[in-house]
Amino acid sequence: MLPFSEDWYLTWAPNIHTSMFANVYAFLETYSDGLDRVDLLTRAYGLYAEHFQMQGELLQMDLTRAWTFIRFRDAGILRLAGCTRCRGKFVAHAHEPSHSMVCGICRPPSRAGKTKAAAKAALERSVALAQAA
């Protein structure tokens, strides 16, 4: 996949992270008077990063990817579309129908959470629990 392809934003984990960032950005854009685009970007990215880091999650997006997403959104390539199950708004292609869209949280792919990093984290948790007992 190309480094700055819009398809990157639609893969499972990056979509969840980008959707969180995009919703924060949209909220700030709507309710924060007087913020220019740079302030919107940096504040939304800061809140996105804070949320995932507080949960102990690795960040999927850096500031450059966040900025690129905003460019794709403004160009009409990507948008937020509603999930029909949870009613959350998630990043989708702007010209794809979304009347029956189900997000990656409600319907994760079968391989979700089965990476080497997830296996290592599970092993570390089990070791920590065994040591605590």
Q: Which residues contact 92 (CB under 8 A, 6 or more apart)?
A: 10, 78, 79, 80, 81, 98, 101
Asked if pLDDT for residue 133 goes beyond 60, the answer is: no
Helix 37-54 to helix 12-31 angle (10° resolution) is: 130
Give the residue from 54, 92, 97 showing the smallest Cα distance to 73: 92
Residue 124 pLDDT: 73
Residue 4 pLDDT: 77
> What CATH number was assigned to the domain covering residues 6-108?
1.10.10
Neighbours of 26 (CB within 10 A): 15
Q: What is the pLDDT of residues 42-84, one digit of tens each?
A: 999 999 999 999 998 899 999 999 999 999 999 999 999 999 9
Domain ranges of the chain: 6-108
